[in-house]
Each structure stands twice: as structure tokens, then as C-alpha cells.
Structure 1
Amino acid sequence: MSADERISLWLAQLRAAGRTVLLTRLVIALTGAIALVVPAVQPWDQLDIVPYVGVPLLLLAVVVPDSFAGLTFMLVIALGWLMRAPATVSWSLVLTAAALVILHLASAFAAQLPSYARVHRSALQRWWLPAATAVVLTGLIAGIAALIHHANLSGSLAVTSAAIALTAATIWLTAGQKLNRD
């Protein structure tokens, strides 16, 4: 299949796509843009390669959400932050983390559907509560981490691990998952 045939096929699928699919991909694009812009406007010097690698990965994640582009994009943003950012918890870090959480959830939802799928809005109801829970818990855990960061508590690794496990369990349960699959 030639490049122009692929583009024509992709445009036909885009015309056939429903609102939910387009909305999900718009969410991927917006949260990815937030995750790119917030670190770029910080006073510390960001790695110059992050936008050059991040923008194509974000575009690929929007077009093909079931590829490794979304995961690679999140890793590039996180590694760029970890390599140059100060070690303190800030609002920009919380905003970037929340954007990456929403990007992850939107990519997981979009990856389940072909681009031409028609999805009723009620299918999104299963995703709203876990997404909201994940975003709220991201901010809460960041705030708690900021409070105990300089407290010199013994066992702070255990506290952090317990917070991550509790967050995962809470999101799992709000998503309506069950432990047995009978």
C-alpha cells in the first residue's frame, strides 16, 4: 500500500469516526500538549531533546493510540523532568503528572477501539470515576510527599510504597474490577 493510499484510508476512517473516538483523541492531544508545555516554561533548563522527541511521539500517540508511542512519550517527559528538574514537589509537577495520568487513561480507552468505531457516551461512564480518582490522588500524594519530604521520617520508602499501592487499589476498585473472574 502506497503512502497516498494509506493517507486516503486514514482520512476515510477519520470521517467515519464517532464523537467519542474524536473526543478521546482530543484529550490525548491536549494532555500531551500540557505535559510538553508545563516543563518547557519552568525556570530550570529542560533537556533540548524533549520537545524534538516528544512532539512526534505525541502526534503518533494521537493517531495510533494502541502503539508504544504513548508510553514512550510519557517516559520521555518523565525522564526529562527527572534529569533536570529540582527535587521539590511543585504545582507544575502535579499538573504534569495529572496530565500524564489522563493521557494514559485516554490512550488506554482509545486503544480498545478502532478509529472508525461508534461508541455511545455511556461507555465513558466506566472511565470517569477511575480517571477522576487517579487525578485527585496524584495531587494528594504529591502534597503528602511535599509534607514528608524534609521531615526525615524513618521508613519514608515504606510510606511511599504504601501510598502507591493504596492508590492502585483505589483506582482498581473504583473501576469496578473484581478479584475473581467467575
Structure 2
Amino acid sequence: MSIADRLTRWLGELRAFGRGPLVARLLIAVGGLIALLVPALQPWDQMDAVSIAAGALLLVCLVLPDSAAALLFLLVVLVGWLFRAPVEVGWSTVVTALGLLLLHLASAYAAQLPSYAKVGRRSLRRWLLPTSIAVLLAPLVAIGASVVRGAGVPGSLIVTVAALAAATAAVWFASGQSVND
């Protein structure tokens, strides 16, 4: 296949791009930018390698949402946060977590669609309940973790991990998945 044939094919696929996959990719971009900009605007010094690597991975997430780029993006932002961020859980932590959650959910949605797919509202209904549960539970778990951390309760890590496991199970079962899948 010549370069001209590849360009013609790529432009044809770009013209056939559906509204649903485009909106999903825009949500990936918004979630990724939130997860990149919030830590960058904090008073603590973030490593430049985190911004460069995460920016490149975000571009790959937009082009190839069904690749492992979204997972690597999450890991790069998380590692950058863990290396330099203060210990307290604050609003910046919650906003960054919501940005990562948006990127994760939009990537999962976009990964199942070809770029030329025409998506109706019925397709979005399946994602509405798990997304709503995840968006509501993420700040609650973060606030609960900060309350338990400040209380000095023995076993607070177990409580936090149990809350995260319960939130994950709630989202899993709300999405219509079963244990046998």
C-alpha cells in the first residue's frame, strides 16, 4: 500500500468519524487535561518528566483509546503525584481523581466503538448508572479516607481499601457485568 493510499484511507476514516466517538475522545481530552493541569498548578514542584510523558500518553489515548495508553497515563500521573505531592488529601486530590476517572470511563467507552460508529442514546444509558456511581463515590471515598486518616484509628488502611473495593464492586455490578463473564 502506497503512502497516497494510506493517506486517502486515513482521510476517509476521518470524514466518517461519528459524533459519539468524537464526544468520547473530547471527554478523554478534558479528563486528561484536568489530571495534567491540576498537579502542575500546585505549589509543590512536579517533575517535568511526568508532564512530558503524560502529555504524550494523552495524545495516544485520543488516537488509540483501546490501547494501554490510558492505563499508563493513570500510572504516570499517580507516580508523579506520589513522589512530590504533600500527604494531605485536599480538593486538588479530588479534582485530579475526578479527571482521571473521566479519562478512564471515556477511554473504556471509546475503546468499544469504531471511529465511524453512529451512537444513539440507548448506548449511553448502559454507561449512565456506573458512571454516576463512580463519580459520586470517588469524592466520598477521598473524604472518608481523609477523615479516617486524621482520626488515628488502627486499621484505617484496611477501611480505606475496603471502601475502594466496595466502590469498585458497586460500579462493576451496576454496569451489568456478572462474575462469570
Question: One fold, TM greater than 0.5?
Answer: yes
SS at match of 2:150: coil
Structure-1 residue corresponding to 2:78: 78
1:97-124 C-alpha deviation (Å, 9 max, x unpaired): 1111111111111111111122212201
Structure-1 residue corresponding to 2:108: 108
Equivalent positions of 1:79-158 (< 5 A) are: 79-158=79-158
Q: Structure 2, unaligned stretches of length 5 or more?
A: none
Deviation at 1:39, TM superposition (A): 0.4
Deviation at 1:152, TM superposition (A): 1.2
Distance in 2, Cα, partners of 1:34 & 1:133: 20
Deviation at 1:15, TM superposition (A): 1.4
Q: Structure 1, unaligned stretches of length 5 or more?
A: none
Structure-1 residue corresponding to 2:35: 35
Distance in 1, Cα, partners of 2:66 & 2:143: 32
Distance in 2, Cα, partners of 1:107 & 1:72: 12
In the superposition, relative to structure 1, how do residues 96 and 7 fare at CA in structure 2: closer, same or farther (>3 Å)? farther
- When the two chains are superposed, the root-mean-square deviation of aligned CA atoms in Å is 1.6
- Asked if structure 2 preserves the Cα contact closer than 8 Å seen for 1:31 and 1:103, the reply is yes
SS at match of 2:88: coil
Structure-2 residue corresponding to 1:20: 20
- Asked if structure 2 preserves the Cα contact closer than 8 Å seen for 1:20 and 1:121, the reply is no
Distance in 2, Cα, partners of 1:161 & 1:52: 31
TM-score normalized with structure 1 length: 0.92
Q: How many residues align structurally? A: 181
In the superposition, relative to structure 1, how do residues 180 and 67 fare at CA in structure 2: closer, same or farther (>3 Å)? closer
Distance in 1, Cα, partners of 2:42 & 2:149: 21
Distance in 2, Cα, partners of 1:100 & 1:84: 18
Distance in 2, Cα, partners of 1:65 & 1:39: 23
Structure-2 residue corresponding to 1:57: 57
Structure-1 residue corresponding to 2:10: 10
